[in-house]
C-alpha cells in the first residue's frame, strides 16, 4: 500500500473549508475510486486527471487507486480539486515528493493536455486557506491578479501540471502575484444633470445619508433612472473589508475582472424585469450561486419598471431586505450569501404612462391594480417614496442645480454623525439600527413622537413603518446638523413614508 495526501478547498457560498485529499495505490482490479461525497463535476475529474497525467508524459499507475476527500460527510463540488488529485496520485506513485505536498494547498482544473485552467471562487478559497492556517497555495496563473489581494500567504501561479511537479521537487520556481491595486472605477454620473425634481432629489439625499430604501414614481422621462444612477456618486467608498467581501462574491459568481479585482466603488446592479428567481436572489442547478441581490452587496439594487417584475420576484426580496443575507437550501446542502443592499425602485403611475397625468386613459381601477403589484409588505420595507412631476421647462429657474460634490459633502457629514452615534453598537447608518434600540436607548420626547402614534392609531402606519419613519427622522436630523430629530422632522419622515404614487 502506497499513500500520499494533498490539500484543496471546498466552497460553500463565500465560505470555504480545507479538504484533505488522500491517494492510496493498492492491490486489486485497476481502477479509480473517488469517495467523499463528490458532485458530478468532481466525479468526472477521474478521467480529466488521468488524461492530464498521461499527456504530461507520466505513467498512470495500473493498479487500484482510491481517492478520499475529507471531511467525508461534507459534499464537495466543482473542478477545482483536479490539480490536488493529480499531484496526490503522482506522489503516491513516487513521481513527486510527499513532504512539500502535505504543506501546500492546490487549486485548479486540469485540461486533458495538462494545462491548469482557472476556476470560480479562487479568492474565497484563498481566504479560507488563510483562516485554516495554510502557508502556501498554488493557483492557476490567470487568477494571480485576483490572488494578489490576499495577504499572509505564499501564493504561486502555474500554467501546467509539470510546472507544479518541478516546483514541488525544488527544480523550478513558480511566479508570485504582483502588487495588489484598487480599481478606481468610472466617474459617477453628475447629479446636476437632473433638471428640477427638488422633492425627489431631497429623497435621494436622505436615502444616501441614511442607507434607506427608495421608491420613485412618475411619468416616463421625468428622471427616475437618472436619479437612481446618481445615487452611487453620493455614497462613500467601500471600506477594505467590504470591498474584499464583494470581490469574493463576484469571484464565486464568475464576475470578477482579472485586472483590478478590488473596487471601492459601491456596486450598481439593475436586473431586467424578465430575470429569473435564481438570477435575482441566487440559486440555479447544482451548487447555488449568488444572484443580483448579493452582487449589489453594500451598493444599489435598482429595479426599473418595478411593477413589471413578477410578483414572486418582488416578494422574494422581503427576507433579504430584513436579514441582509440570502439563505439558499438545496438537497445537497445550504449556502448563504451577504445581501446588504439599498433597494431603489422606479415605477410609472399607470400602464399607459403618458407624459402628463391629464392624458392618461387608464380607469382608476387599472391604475390601482398596476401599482398594487408592489405589495403592502414590500412597500412597508421601503423608507422613502418620492413622486416626480412632469417637467415644464428644460431650463430651471432660480438657484442653479446642486452638483454631486456638494450633495456628497452633506451626505458624508451626516453619515459621519450617524457612525459616531452608533459606533459602540457596530452600525454605520441609521437604516441598520433596530427599532427597539431607537425607542429605548435613544428615546425622544412624547411631543416629538405624537405624529407616529397618530399614524398608528389611524392605521396609516404599521409598527415596522413607524420604526422606519423614525430612522428617516434621525437621518434628517443628521443632515440638518442636529443631535436629535424634532417634531417637524418626524412629520417629514412620515410624509416620505406615506406619499402615494397615484
Residue 311 belongs to domain with CATH number:
3.40.50.300
CATH code of the domain containing 112:
3.30.230.10
- Boundary residue ending a domain (136, 168, 200): 168
The parent domain of residue 388 ranges over: 191-498
Asked if 229 and 352 sit in the same domain, the reply is yes
C-alpha span between 262 and 37 (Å, rounded): 34
Residue 353 has a pLDDT of 82
Cell numbers at residue 166, please?
Answer: 518541478
Q: Has residue 93 been placed in a domain? A: yes
Residues of the chain scoring pLDDT < 50? 1, 500-502
In the numeric block, which cell numbers belong to residue 481? 446638523
Q: How many domains does the chain have?
A: 2
pLDDT digit string (tens) for 302-317?
A: 999 999 999 999 999 9
Its pTM stands at 0.89
Report CA-CA distances (Å) from 168 to 143, 144, 203, 215, 489: 20, 19, 60, 58, 67
Q: What is the pLDDT of residue 497?
A: 84
Between CA 449 and CA 8 the distance in angstroms is 57
Same domain, 228 and 367: yes
Distance between start and end Cα atoms, the chain: 78
Choose one of 102, 133, 168: the last residue of a domain.
168
What pLDDT does 332 receive?
Answer: 64
Helix (H), strand (E), coil (C) string for 343-378 = EEEEECCCCCCCCCHHHCCCCHHHHHHHHCCCCHHH
> Is there a domain that residue 183 lies in?
no
Mark whether 85 and 51 lie in a shared domain: yes
The pLDDT value given to residue 391 = 74
- 290 and 164 housed in the same domain: no
Determine phi and psi for 182, rounding to 5 degrees.
-100, 130
In a domain, 173, yes or no: no
At residue 501, the pLDDT reads 41
- Asked whether 68 and 33 are in contact (CB, 8 A), the reply is no
Of the candidates 255, 256, 239, 242, the residue with the CA atom closest to the CA atom of residue 148:
256
CA nearest neighbour of 309 among 282, 279, 342, 268: 279
Q: Residue 123: is it exposed, middle or buried by C-beta count within 10 angstroms (0-12/13-18/19+)?
A: buried
Amino acid at each position: 500500500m502506497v499513500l500520499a495526501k494533498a490539500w484543496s478547498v471546498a466552497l460553500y457560498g463565500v465560505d470555504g473549508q480545507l479538504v484533505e485529499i488522500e491517494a492510496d495505490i493498492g492491490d486489486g482490479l485497476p481502477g479509480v475510486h473517488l469517495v467523499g461525497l463528490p458532485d458530478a463535476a468532481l466525479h468526472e475529474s477521474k478521467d480529466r486527471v488521468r488524461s492530464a497525467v498521461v499527456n504530461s508524459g507520466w505513467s498512470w499507475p495500473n493498479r487500484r487507486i482510491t481517492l478520499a476527500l475529507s471531511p467525508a460527510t461534507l459534499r464537495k463540488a466543482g473542478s477545482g480539486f483536479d490539480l490536488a488529485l493529480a499531484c496526490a496520485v503522482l506522489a503516491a506513485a513516487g513521481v513527486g515528493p510527499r513532504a512539500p505536498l502535505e504543506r501546500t494547498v492546490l487549486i485548479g482544473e486540469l485540461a486533458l493536455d495538462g494545462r491548469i485552467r482557472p476556476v470560480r471562487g479562487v479568492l474565497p478559497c484563498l481566504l479560507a486557506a488563510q483562516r485554516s492556517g495554510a502557508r502556501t497555495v498554488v493557483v492557476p496563473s490567470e487568477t494571480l491578479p485576483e490572488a494578489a489581494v490576499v495577504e499572509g500567504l505564499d501564493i504561486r501561479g502555474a500554467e501546467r501540471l509539470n510546472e507544479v511537479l518541478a516546483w514541488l521537487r525544488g527544480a523550478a520556481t513558480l511566479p508570485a502575484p504582483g502588487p495588489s491595486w484598487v480599481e478606481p472605477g468610472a466617474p459617477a454620473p453628475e447629479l446636476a444633470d437632473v433638471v428640477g425634481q427638488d422633492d425627489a432629489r431631497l429623497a435621494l439625499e436622505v436615502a444616501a445619508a441614511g442607507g434607506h430604501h427608495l421608491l420613485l414614481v412618475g411619468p416616463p422621462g421625468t428622471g427616475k433612472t437618472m436619479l437612481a444612477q446618481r445615487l452611487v456618486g453620493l455614497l462613500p467608498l467601500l471600506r477594505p473589508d467590504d470591498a474584499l467581501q464583494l470581490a469574493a462574491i463576484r469571484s464565486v459568481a464568475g464576475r470578477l475582472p482579472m485586472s483590478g479585482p478590488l473596487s471601492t466603488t459601491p456596486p450598481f446592479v439593475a436586473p431586467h424585469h424578465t430575470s429569473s428567481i435564481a438570477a435575482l436572489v441566487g440559486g440555479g442547478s447544482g451548487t447555488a450561486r449568488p444572484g443580483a441581490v448579493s452582487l449589489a452587496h453594500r451598493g444599489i439594487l435598482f429595479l426599473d419598471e418595478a411593477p413589471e417584475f413578477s410578483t414572486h420576484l418582488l416578494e422574494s426580496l422581503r427576507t433579504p431586505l430584513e436579514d441582509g443575507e440570502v439563505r439558499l437550501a438545496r438537497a445537497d446542502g445550504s449556502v448563504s450569501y451577504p445581501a446588504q443592499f439599498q433597494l431603489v425602485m422606479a415605477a410609472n403611475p399607470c400602464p399607459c404612462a403618458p407624459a402628463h397625468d391629464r392624458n392618461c386613459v387608464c380607469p382608476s381601477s387599472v391604475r390601482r391594480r398596476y401599482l398594487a403589484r408592489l405589495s403592502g409588505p414590500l412597500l412597508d420595507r421601503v423608507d422613502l417614496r418620492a413622486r416626480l412631476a412632469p417637467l415644464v421647462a428644460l431650463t430651471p429657474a432660480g438657484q442653479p442645480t446642486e452638483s454631486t460634490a456638494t450633495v456628497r459633502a452633506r451626505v458624508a457629514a451626516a453619515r459621519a454623525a450617524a457612525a459616531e452615534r452608533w459606533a459602540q453598537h457596530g452600525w454605520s447608518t441609521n437604516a441598520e439600527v433596530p427599532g427597539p434600540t431607537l425607542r429605548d436607548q435613544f428615546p425622544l420626547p412624547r411631543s416629538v413622537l405624537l405624529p407616529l402614534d397618530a399614524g398608528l392609531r389611524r392605521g396609516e402606519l404599521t409598527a415596522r413603518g413607524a420604526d422606519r419613519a423614525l430612522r428617516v427622522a434621525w437621518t434628517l436630523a443628521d443632515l440638518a446638523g442636529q443631535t436629535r430629530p424634532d417634531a417637524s422632522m418626524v412629520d417629514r419622515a412620515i410624509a416620505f413614508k406615506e406619499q402615494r404614487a397615484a
